Amino acid sequence: MTALLEVSEITVRFGGVRALTGVNMQVAEGSVHGLIGPNGAGKTTLLNCIGRVIEPTEGRLVFARDDLRARPTHDLARLGVARTFQNLALMDDRTVLDNVLVGLRRAGGFTLHDFLPTRRRFALEAEDRATALAALAQVDLQQFAHQKIGKLPYGYRKSIEIARALCTRPRLLMLDEPTAGLNPTEMDQLGIAVRRMRETLGLTVLLITHHIEFLLEVADRVTVLDLGCVIADGAPDLVHTDARVRAAYLGADE
């Protein structure tokens, strides 16, 4: 398998603080890749680097042979990188469908159809809507399409972020703590959904999680960060076998 995403020697400094130091990571095409580590290890910082929200101080990011660091943030969705957010980035006063629709892209700029009630406009809008509903179906939430988001439980909202990301038809889907705040049943459903997405959509998934059971169940490979450095990288069960990983977790366990 070839690497879809290659992270080489990424270093991030905030003022004098090093958030990441020489991080290397390879995410294989079609895999589910876990990114774990204690709080403050730099997991979200790394995701933000890949998502072009944080500019790394040094290092290279290559996605499908494309140099990501040469790309502005708004190019990522087009290249095939989509993500969810740790603290949810949804419009609470809008409906679920409206939120999911944000993920949709059409080729080309705005046209006259965006300003006038033309026939083609209705056709395109109907198409978009169908796509968004299909994406909602992937996370089993299509029945809530017309509800306001603010009223839905936290777990649903996390899934809606996934549906929104799916709308961009990504090659790489990055999930930032999708399991946080989920009950065991919901977590099971999420695991099923993630695997199904990989199978049916051919997605590569990079996810951050604190739940080791979930990780063992869905991930093909795992990278472990601690204090901004990669301390381990390999098959998921290394979390049990690797001494450094256990030390890092025991040192800062919850």
Partner 1 sequence: MGDVPFGSQEAGHTSPRSRVLLTVLVLVLVAPLFATGYMRYVATLWMIYAIAAVGLQIPIGLAAIYSFGHSAFMLVGAYAMALAIMLGGWPVPIAMLAALVLAALVGALLALPSLRLSGFALAIVTMGASSLFFQSVKVFKLTGGPQGLFLPEFAFVKAMDGRAFYAICAGLMMLGLMVSHCVESGRIGRVLRASAANPLMAQSFGVHLMRVRTLAFVISAVYGSIAGSLLGLSTSYIAPEAYAPDLSIQVFAAVMIGGMARAWGPVLGALFIVLIPELTQSVQNLGAIVYALIFIAVSTVYPGGLQQMISGLRARLGKRVP
CA distance 75 to 51: 10
Q: Shortest approach of partner 1 to residue 151 CB, angstroms?
A: 14
CA distance 155 to 180: 8
Nearer to partner 1 among residue 104 and residue 201 (C-beta): 104
| Contact between 174 and 84 (Cβ < 8 Å) | yes
Nearer to partner 1 among residue 65 and residue 146 (C-beta): 146
Q: Shortest approach of partner 1 to residue 53 CB, angstroms?
A: 6
Q: Shortest approach of partner 1 to residue 50 CB, angstroms?
A: 11
Nearer to partner 1 among residue 149 and residue 239 (C-beta): 149
Q: Shortest approach of partner 1 to residue 57 CB, angstroms?
A: 19
Chain residues binding partner 1 by CB under 8 A are 51-53, 72-78, 82-83, 85, 89-91, 94-95, 98, 101-106, 110, 114-117, 121-122, 125, 128, 146, 164, 168
- The pairing of beta strand 66-67 with beta strand 204-208: unpaired
Q: Which of 221, 205, 157, 211 is nearest to 179 (CA)?
A: 211
Nearer to partner 1 among residue 148 and residue 246 (C-beta): 148
Q: What is the dihedral of CA 47, 49, 52, 58, to 10 degrees?
A: -170
| Three-state secondary structure call for residue 196 | helix
Q: Shortest approach of partner 1 to residue 242 CB, angstroms?
A: 33
| Three-state secondary structure call for residue 190 | helix
Q: Shortest approach of partner 1 to residue 150 CB, angstroms?
A: 12
Alpha-helix residue ranges (DSSP H) falling in the chain: 43-50, 76-79, 96-101, 119-138, 154-166, 184-201, 212-218, 238-241, 243-251
Nearer to partner 1 among residue 56 and residue 103 (C-beta): 103
Nearer to partner 1 among residue 144 and residue 214 (C-beta): 144
